[in-house]
Structure 1
Amino acid sequence: MADTIEKDVTRGGQFLVKETKSEDIFTPEDFSEEQLMMKQMVKEFVDKEIWPNKNRFENKDYAFTEECMKKAGELGLLGVAVPEEYGGLGMGFVSTMLVCDYISGATGSFSTAFGAHTGIGTMPITLYGTEEQKQKYVPKLASGEWFGAYCLTEPGAGSDANSGKTKAVLSEDGTHYKITGQKMWISNAGFCSVFIVFARIGDDKNITGFIVENDPSNGISMNEEEHKLGIRASSTRQVFFSDTKVPVENMLSERGNGFKIAMNALNVGRIKLGAACLDAQRRVTTGAVKYANERIQFNTAISNFGAIRSKIAEMATSCYAGESASYRAAKSVEDRIEARVAEGVSHQEAELKGVEEFAIECSILKVAISEDVQNCADEGIQIFGGMGFSEDTPMESAWRDARIARIYEGTNEINRMLSVGMLVKKAMKGHVDLLGPAMKVQEELMGIPDFNTPDYSELFAEEKEIIGKLKKVFLMVAGAAVQKYGPDLDSHQQLLMAASDILIEIYMAESVILRTEKLAKSKGQENVKEQIAMAQLYLYKAVDIVNSKGKEGIASFSEGDEQRMMLMGLKRFTKYTNLPNMVALRETIASKLIEENEYCF
């Protein structure tokens, strides 16, 4: 069974050592009729129910957030990923990503409430619960009759989630546990019906998960709502448990399995968080374009100024790249799930393993897109100028809401280190062959460079060759680092961060090149010249980042002849034969956006 799965479906992290063809990836242009209808429904919901009431979210109207969540439940949006037998729509992973994507166009407050409920509030029961637990809780969560929250973080246990002090003590008669402890930053706490709570039984090495109904008379109390920089109408409270009784049958999965539940929930949360930043970027970009077309200075619209056009082009490019990578990864996960189901594995187990397999890509997307949405909102403020700093325009709230995305679901620093660490572990287990390709790169460094000019007549011929070279940079840097530090590599965090930035740019740049190549094959190059320009622009910037981070990494662990050889290799692997005209590329992209008066890709 396992052999069949390995042959048919690419493994997580293999993008680094395995050539991917454009026809083998999924793109937003491949949405089915059903998915396009779902996309339209979500957009209409956001435009009708959320955007006209944006001020209510900014004024901390928590009751309105709950009201909108109930409406989302009535439309079936809360149950997209829930199997039909538990009251959901039972849609595939790509469709669940699509809903997360377009819900993000609402506000940070609502999309946070939505993501916390559908993801970490519902999913642990769906994936780890017993049949009785799923029948009891999931239909209510899928319909919006009940809302869920996730209690993991504690004052002393943030990134180190398994160090929580909350205790669960079995009663003398063995019928229930008494949970005592404090949880903080709990999204949806103010209106949730059920908590997923993590606590430690005795001196167990790992924490255990419990399903806890929200009953104030059962030793559950809360602080007032937190006052936050952004996501202001997302209910966020500290929750206290004092001898809270939980029936033994409400233990989630097995004793000591809580840390695994928490980590797998975060993997799903990370890839969906990446998607949940996309429509926010589209709407910020559209808002900036409209304002630039309307704002007159020096007797002309500011959209005619090169400095503004450059910003608009960069904003659109980062969003297009994020879309490309998100849906590529989502389909990889979906294919993995379907392959396991076809082999007789339960859907519950298949989904767990499918997402876990692509944990590296989940972390990559979380980091890349959460930073892109912040940069996009920042440039949106800049295009609006002084007005961008005012609460009368949507830019300042977009910037505030975007800031949290770099923190939750594991900080971007943690996720950067995780992505490289997980890849190294996969290599050690034989799941991804890094050693062979890394040795070939070392041999290439010792050899004589090929000075022949290759044929770049086909679209993206040079770009795809450059992607291959960027992969060699990662193999060179990471391979040498592993050789030098071995199991102590984890303690060299700045080196891991540099290597991770290289890994991120490889996946994002390759995704946008492959999507655009596929698009050009189906529609013709002349009809997608703006997308081609975005792909080329993104890659150019990626090469610069890889070059910079490569130098940083190499200098941190090498010296003398070894360092000189690796720096020469870095120069060779980040060199263009035909350097693209960045100004012309940005102009091509911006002209289309300004003409259409919106993000239009």
Structure 2
Amino acid sequence: MATATLDLQGLNFNLSEEHLAVQEAARDFAQNELLPGIVERDNEARFPAQQVKRMGELGFLGMMVSPDYGGGGMDTVSYVLAMEEISKIDASASVVMSVNNSLVCFGLEAYGTEEQKRTYLTRLATGETLGAFCLSEPEAGSDATSQATTAEDKGDYYLVNGTKNWITNGNSSGICLVIAQTDREKKHRGINCLIIEKGTPGFVVGKKEDKMGIRASDTHSLLFTDVHVPKANRIGDDGFGFKFAMSTLNGGRIGIAAQALGIAAGAYELALKYSQERKAFGKQIFDHQAIQFKLAEMATKIEAARLLVYKAARLKDEHKDYVQAAAMAKLFASDVAMWATTEAVQIHGGYGYVKEFHVERLMRDAKITQIYEGTSEIQKLVIARELVR
């Protein structure tokens, strides 16, 4: 019979004092500055502008960016620790953090020119402005090659026309990375990524989406009509845009996996606390075996998700191939988040169905982690492809 070996690739999951300090700072910020007013922000779908500004001041919006460009110079493990703690309380705030760190700042630092980094990255890393990653379209979600937005080559500039949908930070961002088709005959090799600033003539923010979850994050459509973009704002060589998007999303999956982990852990902590306060049939509901089994399974699956997230983060920090690990982490953590939040609502009973106890919001927030930055079905395709690569 064939045997299997567990290959952790020499990974060490011990956290340093610096890691623990980041974790504690994120936890304090979430409890003291995000938790107050969170129900009202969710009800009103109100962007947490003041809290996001504080995130920039505390260094949470450019954690992995080099200090040369105003960032914290931290590793990916620090980032996922902070993402988990903030997501336990407010997934709307953590998705702002995720997009700015994982997609926009990472992409610019990894592939941008020195001039682009000095001009744009420093503002993003410090929280002076927010970034948006503009890939999805009405007919281009999971199939990112089907870009209808065009960037027509006009010599020294591109003329951009099209619409982007479901863009996080759509209204609050000042700098957008826009994926657009320049040469349709070349298919995915004819796609470019362009830096477009808010206020550029022809660039209009469209409607705000009325969402089930992460309601306080601003999700908008963006419209481009004859927008002139200098060639100097193209990231990488001509035709590099699709590869840029896929590479950036690989890292982004780690951030969303950490968000899903935080949502699940937040729901579990609320359920555990409630189970020791609520009494039924003359004793704490925690003392009923049915509740114990639920909590035990929640704790186990969350710990498994945490190890997958940490592994992906470590591999990225060690400059090893992390594509499969990131996809596995996102797939598993997002499923755990959806399941654990549902169980948390069940443990709370009728109280779980009302906003005051927070778990119903976490359940609504959890669902998007199975969808954005690559659906669960796409993660399975990525994992399968990596198995035989």
Give 3-state SS (helix, strand or coil) of 2:276's partner: helix
- Whether 2:389 is the aligned partner of 1:418: answer no
Q: What TM-score do you get using the length of structure 2 for normalisation?
A: 0.95
- Whether 2:34 is the aligned partner of 1:50: answer yes
CA distance in 1 between partners of 2:208 and 2:136 (Å): 16
- Contact kept, 8 Å, 2:89 with 2:263, in 1: the verdict is yes
Q: Which residue of 2 aligns with 1:178?
A: 159
Unaligned runs of 5+ in 2: none
- Contact kept, 8 Å, 1:102 with 1:278, in 2: the verdict is no
Q: Which residue of 2 aligns with 1:33?
A: 17
- Whether 2:375 is the aligned partner of 1:389: answer no
Q: Deviations over 1:49-81 (max 9, x none)?
A: 101221232123534x22211111101111210
Per-residue deviation, 1:223: 2.2
Q: Which amino acid aligns with 1:282?
A: A
- Contact kept, 8 Å, 1:57 with 1:109, in 2: the verdict is no
Q: Which residue of 2 aligns with 1:379?
A: 343
- Contact kept, 8 Å, 2:132 with 2:170, in 1: the verdict is yes
**163, 168, 182: which one pairs with 2:151?**
168
- Contact kept, 8 Å, 2:261 with 2:334, in 1: the verdict is no
Map 1:260-271; keep pairs closer than 5 Å: 260-271=243-254
- Whether 2:342 is the aligned partner of 1:360: answer no
Q: Deviations over 1:180-226 (max 9, x none)?
A: 001100000111101100111133322110000011x5101122210
Percent same amino acid at aligned positions?
35
**113, 123, 126: which one pairs with 1:140?**
123
Q: Which residue of 2 aligns with 1:370?
A: 334
Give 3-state SS (helix, strand or coil) of 1:365's partner: helix
CA distance in 1 between partners of 2:362 and 2:379 (Å): 23
CA distance in 2 between partners of 1:280 and 1:147 (Å): 23
Per-residue deviation, 1:332: 2.4
More helix by share: 1
Unaligned runs of 5+ in 1: 1-15, 338-353, 427-601
Q: Which residue of 2 aligns with 1:20?
A: 7
CA distance in 2 between partners of 1:138 and 1:332 (Å): 24
Give 3-state SS (helix, strand or coil) of 2:194's partner: strand
Per-residue deviation, 1:292: 1.2
CA distance in 1 between partners of 2:192 and 2:88 (Å): 35
CA distance in 2 between partners of 1:318 and 1:305 (Å): 20
CA distance in 2 between partners of 1:123 and 1:332 (Å): 16
Q: Which residue of 2 aligns with 1:295?
A: 278
Per-residue deviation, 1:84: 1.2
Q: Deviations over 1:12-57 (max 9, x none)?
A: xxxx9765379x3322xx1111111111111111111101221232
Give 3-state SS (helix, strand or coil) of 1:89's partner: coil
Q: Which residue of 2 aligns with 1:4?
A: none
Q: Which residue of 2 aligns with 1:454?
A: none
Per-residue deviation, 1:294: 1.3
Q: Which amino acid aligns with 1:35?
A: H
CA distance in 2 between partners of 1:74 and 1:401 (Å): 26
Q: Deviations over 1:321-370 (max 9, x none)?
A: 111222123222222x2xxxxxxxxxxxxxxxx4xx22011111110000
- Whether 2:261 is the aligned partner of 1:278: answer yes
**Aligned pair count?**
384
Per-residue deviation, 1:234: 0.7
Q: Which amino acid aligns with 1:51?
A: L
Q: Deviations over 1:483-508 (max 9, x none)?
A: xxxxxxxxxxxxxxxxxxxxxxxxxx
Q: Which residue of 1 aligns with 2:194?
A: 210
Q: Which amino acid aligns with 1:169?
A: E
Q: Deviations over 1:101-141 (max 9, x none)?
A: 22212312111111112222222111110010001111100
Q: What TM-score do you get using the length of structure 1 for normalisation?
A: 0.62
Q: Deviations over 1:373-413 (max 9, x none)?
A: 11110000000111111122111100000000000111101
Moved more, 179-188 or 101-110: 101-110
Q: Deviations over 1:442-487 (max 9, x none)?
A: xxxxxxxxxxxxxxxxxxxxxxxxxxxxxxxxxxxxxxxxxxxxxx
Q: Which amino acid aligns with 2:80?
A: M
- Contact kept, 8 Å, 1:26 with 1:327, in 2: the verdict is no
Q: Which residue of 2 aligns with 1:62?
A: 46
Q: Which residue of 2 aligns with 1:193?
A: 174
